[in-house]
């Protein structure tokens, strides 16, 4: 004869333990992104030196067209869609002298052709702020770093990602007197959570620009993925150079995202495991 099972009623203490266990499980599921944040494979900040007279208005327009053409290309979009989430977040910030850091395009998601075209339209129509003094790369990096949000110690920008990238573009050769401050700002950005800082040196003095940026600006915290510098004139090759640079950056982030983010089934499996652990501790 079977022994009848006794019906147990949870005590208030038992209920509290159960609620804590469920809360821990739910919190575990939310570890990848805070409430309200959109998960993307990477966040890319386009940091653009707009100092006159080095960058003329015509060159500025060609540069914006280069960004538009690159991010709406099938090559870059294919790389974007190969990631775990199939989308990235992009923002554009302009900089000049130490007091000028202006957001040209706020953080937005790109995961399909329609969103890519929206970014392209914004890039081609963005209004250029006025600056005629020597640009301050250190101040620009200091201002750019917290815009990634919680990953770099700033206020949430609405996105969470596996990789944070700064892509700097400049025609201006900074003074060697600013090298130490610039190198410190770059190191601080990487220490704060930025993963890669790449650079695009432009114009007739591109080689000199590249030398300064290679020595004091670019850097990477991802093992096996070095930061890069590229050079380009304002000619028909500009879009192609940018296309290759962004494709490589996006593909790197997509690969890291795929390997870094657990499958949903693995995440859900953490809830019963957490409950079982707490149950064992109570015995």
Beta-carbon contacts of residue 87 (< 8 Å; ≥ 6 apart): 38, 40, 41, 80, 81, 109, 110, 111, 112, 115
pLDDT one-digit tens code per residue, 44-97: 999 999 999 899 999 999 999 999 999 999 999 999 999 999 999 999 999 998
In a domain, 112, yes or no: yes
Question: DSSP characters for 185-236?
Answer: HHHHHHHHT--EEEEEEESTTHHHHHHHHHHHT-EE-STT----EEEE-SST
- Mean of pLDDT over the chain: 84
Q: What is the pLDDT of residue 279?
A: 43
pLDDT digits (tens, 9 = 90+) for 216-250: 999 999 999 999 999 999 988 999 999 999 999 99
Is the pLDDT assigned to residue 262 strictly greater than 50?
yes
The mean per-residue pLDDT over the stretch 159-169 comes to 97
Categorise residue 7: left if φ over 0, alpha if ψ from -120 to 50, beta otherwise: beta
Instruction: Please name which of 134, 175, 51, 132 lies closest in space to residue 59, comparing C-alpha atoms.
Output: 51
Residue 170 included in any domain:
yes
**CATH number of 242's domain:** 3.40.50.410
Provide the pLDDT for residue 29.
34
Residue 94 domain flag: yes
In a domain, 54, yes or no: yes
Distances (CA, A) of 108 to 42, 140, 158, 241: 12, 20, 9, 23
Q: Which residue has the higher pLDDT, 7 or 44?
A: 44
Residue range 101-119: mean pLDDT, rounded: 98
Q: Is the peptide bond before 110 cis (omega within 30 degrees of 0)?
A: no
**113 found inside a domain:** yes
The predicted pLDDT at position 102 comes to: 96
**Residue 35: band (very low, low, confident or very high) from pLDDT cuts 50, 70, 90:** low
Instruction: Output the pLDDT for position 11.
Output: 45
More confident residue, 15 or 99: 99
- Assigned domain for 41 exists: yes
- Give the mean pLDDT of 111-127: 98
What's the pLDDT score for residue 130? 85
Q: How many domains does the chain have?
A: 1
Tell me, what's the pLDDT at 269? Answer: 44
Write the burial class of residue 24 (CB in 10 Å: 0-12 exposed, 13-18 middle, 19+ buried): middle
Residue 275 lies in a domain: no
Whole-model pTM: value is 0.81
pLDDT score for 28: 33
Domain that holds residue 199: 37-260
Contact 72, 117 (CB under 8 A): yes
Q: Is residue 25 part of a domain?
A: no
- Compare 17 and 197 and report the one with higher pLDDT: 197
pLDDT at 105 over 50: yes
Q: pLDDT exceeding 70 applies to what percent of the chain? A: 80
pLDDT at 36: 81
- The two structure tokens encoding residue 85: 């989430």
């Amino acid at each position: 004869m079977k022994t009848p099972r006794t019906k147990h009623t949870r005590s208030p203490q038992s209920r509290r333990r159960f609620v804590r266990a469920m809360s821990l499980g739910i919190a575990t599921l939310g570890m990848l992104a805070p409430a309200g944040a959109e998960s993307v494979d990477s966040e890319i900040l386009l940091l653009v030196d707009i100092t006159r007279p080095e960058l003329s208005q015509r060159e500025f327009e060609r540069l914006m067209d280069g960004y538009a053409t690159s991010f709406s290309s099938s090559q870059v979009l294919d790389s974007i869609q190969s990631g775990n989430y199939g989308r990235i977040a992009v923002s554009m910030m302009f900089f000049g002298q130490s007091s000028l850091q202006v957001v040209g395009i706020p953080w937005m998601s790109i995961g399909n052709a329609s969103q890519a075209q929206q970014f392209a339209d914004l890039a081609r129509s963005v209004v250029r702020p006025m600056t005629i003094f020597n640009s301050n790369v250190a101040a620009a990096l200091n201002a750019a770093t917290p815009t990634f949000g919680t990953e770099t110690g700033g206020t949430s920008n609405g996105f969470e990602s596996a990789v944070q990238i700064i892509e700097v573009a400049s025609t201006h050769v900074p003074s060697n007197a600013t090298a130490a401050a610039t190198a410190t700002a770059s190191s601080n950005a990487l220490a704060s959570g930025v993963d890669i800082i790449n650079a695009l040196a432009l114009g007739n003095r591109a080689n000199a620009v590249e030398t300064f940026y290679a020595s004091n600006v670019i850097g990477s915290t991802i093992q096996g993925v070095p930061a890069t510098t590229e050079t380009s004139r304002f000619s028909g090759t500009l879009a192609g150079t940018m296309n290759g640079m962004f494709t490589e950056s996006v593909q790197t982030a997509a690969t890291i995202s795929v390997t870094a983010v657990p499958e949903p089934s693995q995440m859900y499996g953490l809830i019963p495991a957490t409950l079982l652990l707490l149950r064992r501790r109570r015995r």
